[in-house]
Structure formats: C-alpha cells, structure tokens
Structure 1
Amino acid sequence: MSLAAATNEGLAEISNYLIYSSMAVYTLAFFAHMAEWLFGSRSKVARTAAALTAPKEGATAAAPAVTVRAAGGAAVLDKPKVVTRAAAGTRDVPDGPGAHGGTEKGDLYGRIAVSLTVLAFLLEASGVIARAVSVQRAPWGNMYEFSTTFSTVVVGVYLALLLAKKNVRWAGLPLVTTVLLDLGFAVTVLYTESDQLVPALDSYWLWIHVSTAIFCGAVFYLGAVGSILYLFRDSYEAKLARGDQPGKFATSVMERLPAAATLDKFAYRVNAAVFPLWTFTIIAGAIWAGDAWGRYWGWDAKEVWSFITWVAYAAYLHARATAGWKGRKAAYIALVAFLCFLWNYYGVNMFVNSLHSYAGV
C-alpha cells in the first residue's frame, strides 16, 4: 500500500474546512472582545489613583482629623479610615475587573466573546482530530500540524483557567488575535498536505515528546502575555504614583487589567508550573534521538535552542526568586526566554539546517 493510498483525503479535506470555520468564528470572537473593551464602563478608573495616593507604610504623615459627634449625651470619636501599602516598595492597588468595566453591557459582550471562543475551539479541535484520523497518527508531524495543534492547546488552557474561575478574561483579546495570526500563517505559509510520517518520526515518542512541547509552549505563551501586560500596567501605575495623568485611552485600558503585582505573580506561577515539564520535554527528546539516530545529544540546532530556552527560563525563575530581580527586570528575562522558544519553533525549522527539518515546513 502506498503512502498516498493510506491517507483518507476526504477526512483531510474536512479537517481543512473545520480549521477555516474556526478562523471565521475566532474573527467574530475578536470583534466581540473589542466591543467588550470599548463599551465597558469607565466609572471605576480612579480607584488605582486613589489607592496610590495613600501614605506609604512607615512614612510620616499629618495626623488625621477626628470628628466628634454627640450620641445620647456621650462624645463619640469617628476615626477616619487609613489606607496603607501592603509592604515597603510595593503597590497595594486593586485589580481591574478583567476586561469589561463591570457594566451589564460590557459583561454581555464579554460572555458572547467567550462563547464564540469556545465554539471556535471546538471547531479547531475537531479539525486537528480529523487530520489525525485521516492519517492514523499524531496530528503534529509537520509545522502546519504543530501550529494548528499549538493554537488549539493555547485556547484550551485559557478556557480551562476560565472554567476554574481564574480572572484571566483580560487575556482573551490578545489570545484570539495571536491565534488568528498563527492560523493565518499556518494555512498560507506552513500548509502541508496530509501524509504519512517519514521513518524517523514514526515512533511512540512522537506522542510523548511533541505533545509535551506543545503544552509547554501554550503555557509559556500565556506567561508571556502576562509579562507584556505587566510591563504596561506597571508603567501606568508608576505614572499615577508620580502624580502624572495618563491619557484617557490608556486609563480606560489599564484599569480593566489586574494590578501589576497580580500580573507579575500570574506570569511567574504559570512559567514555574510548566518549567519541570519543559525539562522532561528535553530529556524525552534526547531519549528519542538515541533511538532514532544512535546518540542522545549531537548539538543539532533544535537541541541547542531547546537547551537555550531551558537556560533562559531557569534564569528567569532564579531571578524572580531573588529579591533584587523581581518586577520589570525579571519580566524582560521571561520575554527573552519566550522569544527563544519562538525561534526554536519557527526560526530553526525555517532558516537553519537541522535534523529536525526532515518533516518539511
């Protein structure tokens, strides 16, 4: 039986239709997320500024006024409420409401956006499964299949966090935007006809090694989004702390995000949680290389950049756990680490001669 005959062309075509359909629904979700941000309330945009005007802990401040009122012939003292920072050098400011501004209209658009994202995720996941069934193998034997599976897992992780009642709706707009870009690039530049694997890839390690790499990349992506938004939100809070007045648009957007400290903590937690799995991914790849090529490590470009990515994330976690490297410096390291992952994902396969390029783009 020839390789071409072993491929179910009908299912492969259905897979393509499902991927295109998911792109159409993701586009609708993108507009719904835009509406969620645009039509949300701006009535709460002063609360971060109000929190930042509170005196620092340990700072000398004027004695607060005490009001004396009569209550049944006795004098009662009304002590004013005092807001202080959580700790010296940190900002104790409230989180934004997610993406919507807390109004029914903003929340309605947000729920529509999430519903459309769920529908698009189901269509895309069905497309990935149909592709797998069409060739009776794991659906990540080339860059096109890896990209479609990767974006599916990214959205799946995001929806799982929402289902767990985590405040991550702020990630919806950048998520859907990048998923659309990823799928557009996949169907135009990376598209490869459904076909069987070359012998070197025909191994059970394909299920283990590549699936863990995809999942790690999806979580690293969410961590990178958190780090980018942290940098913007931190700059916004710093301006308010200095007494500067940001523009109305920046204020409207930034107040719908969690506080900078919350975004920083989110990025750290997701990166730290998946780092051990990335370590396993590299070890599994080395074991597979030993089975396929007779050596565990050969300084191939993909192997080298996988290790560089590991070192970059290890440096980030070490820096983040060191008091002097929390905040912006650590966020920059996290973004460099994710850029290393992206280069290993796209650049090595497309621009560098590697043993891992035999599957074609």
Structure 2
Amino acid sequence: METVSGTFLLIALILYTLSFFGFVIAVIGKKWSERDPEGHTKRWGKIGLATTITGFAAQLVFFITRWYAAGYIPTSNMFEFMTFLAMMIVLAFIIVYLIYRTAVLGMFAMPVGVIILSYALVFPPDIQPLIPALQSYWLKIHVTTAALGEAFFAVGFAAGLMYLIRVINYSGQSKSDRRERRGVEIVIFVVLMIVSFIVSVYVFKGINYEASFMQEVTKVDQTGKEYVETNKVDYVLPPIVKPFNSTTESMQPFLGMKEPLFTAPSWMNGVNAGRKLNTFVWALLAGFIVYMLLRLILRKQIGAAIHPAMSGMDAEDLDEISYRAIAIGFPIFTLGALIFAMIWAHEAWGRFWGWDPKEVWALITWLFYTAYLHFRLSRGWQGRKSAWMAVVGFVVVMFTLIGVNLIIAGLHSYAGV
C-alpha cells in the first residue's frame, strides 16, 4: 500500500510541474500566436487547469491510501503535513482560478505547491505510530483547517508577488524604486534558496553521501536528576556544521573537507538542530550560487526579466485576487490554528495556552493577517502596501511551519522528526 501511495504522490508532483509549464505557455506563448492570442491563452489555460485537477486527484489518492495504511489521518509529521499543505495549496489555487480565470496566477501559485511538495519529499516517508499527544480526533480538525487557511495565504502571496513585479518601475532610479526592486529580488532569492536546497538534497542522496556523529545530550528525568543520552545523528548533506557536543563517527570527504568547519551553538536545541542548521547553511550557499548564475545569464535582476510577461495583466485584478484569497483563508486559519488548537491543547495538556514557540508564532501569524485586513478595510491600504503585506505574511507562515518545527525546541518538536 505504501508503494502505491508513493507512486501516486510522484505522479501528482509530475502533473503539477507540467501544469505550471502549461500556464507559462498560456501567458508567454500568446506572443507567438499572432492570429488569436486570447484564444491561445484560454486554450492553454484550460490545459493547465485540467492537468492541475488531474494531479490533485492523484495526490488525493495518495492521501486516502496512506490514511488507510497508517490508520490515522496522514498529517502527523513534516513529511505528511507538508504533502497535505501542498495539496491544499493546489485546491485553493483551483478555487481562486475558477473564480477569476487568470492563467498567469498558475505561473506563480503552482510553483509554490510544487516547492512545498518537493520539500516534503526531503523528509523520511515511513509510516510511524502516533505519539500520545496526537492520538485525538482533533488532529483531523485542527491540522486540516489550519493547512487550508495557510493554503489560501499562499495563493494571496503568489498574487501579491505578481502584483509587485507588474507595477514596480524597473527603469526608475528613485530611492523608492530601488528599494522595491531589492525587496522583490530578496523574495525571489528566498524561493531560489528553497529550490536549490531541495535539489542539493536529491543530488547528495543520489550519490549516497553519508556522515554520522555521536551527540551527547544532557536530559533531566522525572526525579529531577540529570543524565546523558547519546544519539546518532546522520547527515545527507556534507557537514559544514556538526551537532553541538558531538564526535565524528564517519564522514565522506567532500571537496577536500574531512571534518566539519563549525559546531552548532549550544542554545540551538531543537530536534537534530545541528543537522538542520547545516541544511540551512547549504540552502544559503546553493541559493546564492543559483541566483548569481541566473543574474549572469540574464544580465539583469530576475524580477526585471519576469516583468515583461506581466505587462498584459491588470494590476487591480491581481490586487483583488490577493485580497480575496487572504480574506477566504483568514477565518479558516482562525478556526484551525487558534480556536481548535486551543481546545485540543486543553484536552492534551490541561491548558488553553502555554506560550509554546509554535503557539506564539501561530498567534503572530494571526495578528499579522488581522493587521493586513484592518489596514486594507479601514485605512484603504491597497496596491503596493497590501501586496507587500501579503508577501511578508506568507514568509511568517513558512517560518512558523519550518523554522519553529526544525530549529526551536518545544511541545511541537515532534513535527520536525
């Protein structure tokens, strides 16, 4: 059953990627169709949508078969949750697309789903027994609604980024023009960093690179006595950073490097924090290399290279799409990430709120989007201000999902396993 489930997930990833190219052809290829550019866009937009829906159906089969094999809803760890989030992003995109019929949205929204799904495949896909904290029907209610709300935020992010690339003056020399161009390039760099990291993991897994460390961790038992626990930490990427208080058990040389260059700081005590800091360093390095190569090839800012493809889009439509997506996602996220989460926390731990890092960042995310809607509706923040908030908001969402789970220790650290 696991093999069948994994096959359908791979099919979904391939179809999502193909649908992205379909939307690219729909937008860019209309310049090649001199006789009927609008017909070309509609035709390829339908092909992109059909491919997206087929991919969604394949991932739905993966989700159902894995649920059957595991005996619980597959949203309990990073692999399962990120695959589910990717599926919800695709669902949110389909809903928004059917409302607005804007093919260019697929150029930006589908890559988000593809990146999230590809990132999920970095984590071990093995089915594991549920820990006691997750053995509750609230797992279905809390996680699914929170993920669906975040999925609409992702679509709002995509439309907001599209708006910024569309309206920014790439030939202007004013201070505000330069600042906006830098801001968009930073967002593009972050996206490239994630993609480069995923590719790096696949490459090193393909060549069977391995490194292992024995780490001593001081813990406290129920009586208050300290004891030392020794854990083995395996690396897939070459260890630039090794775990704190660890010794090298084995390490394949890489570019002349036979020992790690740095040691993770002692305060970074999340689950396998040293290994995850190492992946972050690799993501930065790989992202920087890919970004600079693209800049050398294009000989201009990447946003400036994308800008001509957005010339036919109505900026107000993009702004409206971003706002509507966030407006749909906000009440769903409020229910799932706050209200349902607090009810489950009370049942599991006997309190509604405990200032756990994941709880704090979920609240920060909610407050941020509350401010977004407040400024949008009460202060008339539309256009650039609204788009920047949509972009920054999803960055906060991704830190809540990835950074908190993987780096910061807390009651939700099991999600990083």
Which TM-score applies when normalising by structure 1? 0.72
Find out whether 1:176 has 2:166 as its counterpart: no
> Which one has a bigger Cα radius of gyration?
1
Unmatched 5+ residue regions in structure 1? 1-10, 45-100, 240-246
The 8 Å contact of residues 230 and 263 in structure 1, kept in 2 or not, is answered as yes
Cα-to-partner distance string for 1:226-264 (whole Å, 9 max, x where unaligned): 11111122225997xxxxxxx99666412342x222222
Letter in 2 for 1:218: A
| Aligned match of 1:154 | 89
Find out whether 1:233 has 2:166 as its counterpart: yes
Per mean C-alpha deviation after superposition, the further-off stretch among 292-301 and 177-186 is 177-186
Counterpart Cα distance in 2 of 1:266 and 1:35 = 21
Q: CA deviation at 1:273?
A: 2.8
Which residue of 1, 4, 12 corresponds with 1:22?
A: 12
- When the two chains are superposed, the root-mean-square deviation of aligned CA atoms in Å is 2.5
| Aligned match of 2:255 | none
The 8 Å contact of residues 146 and 333 in structure 2, kept in 1 or not, is answered as yes
Query: What SS does the corresponding residue of 1:39 show, helix, strand or coil?
Result: helix
Per mean C-alpha deviation after superposition, the further-off stretch among 35-44 and 266-275 is 35-44
Cα-to-partner distance string for 1:182-226 (whole Å, 9 max, x where unaligned): 2221112x2331122111101011111111111001111111111
Cα-to-partner distance string for 1:114-147 (whole Å, 9 max, x where unaligned): 2221211111111111111111211201111111
Counterpart Cα distance in 2 of 1:339 and 1:248 = 22
Which residue of 382, 399, 417 corresponds with 1:326?
A: 382
The 8 Å contact of residues 23 and 103 in structure 2, kept in 1 or not, is answered as no
**Aligned pairs (5 A) from 1:216-255:** 216-235=149-168, 252-255=308-311
The 8 Å contact of residues 26 and 103 in structure 2, kept in 1 or not, is answered as no
Letter in 1 for 2:316: A
Using a 3 Å threshold, how does the CA distance of structure 1 residues 292 and 235 change in structure 2: closer, same or farther?
A: same
Counterpart Cα distance in 2 of 1:353 and 1:251 = 41
Q: CA deviation at 1:179?
A: 2.0
**Aligned pairs (5 A) from 1:195-344:** 195-235=128-168, 252-257=308-313, 259-281=314-336, 282-323=338-379, 325-344=381-400
Counterpart Cα distance in 2 of 1:153 and 1:35 = 24
Counterpart Cα distance in 2 of 1:41 and 1:147 = 37
Using a 3 Å threshold, how does the CA distance of structure 1 residues 216 and 111 change in structure 2: closer, same or farther?
A: same
| Aligned match of 1:75 | none
Q: CA deviation at 1:298?
A: 0.8
| Aligned match of 1:81 | none
Which residue of 35, 54, 59 corresponds with 1:124?
A: 59
Letter in 2 for 1:40: K
Counterpart Cα distance in 1 of 2:385 and 2:415 = 38
Letter in 1 for 2:341: G
Counterpart Cα distance in 2 of 1:248 and 1:215 = 32
Which TM-score applies when normalising by structure 2? 0.63
| Aligned match of 2:100 | 166
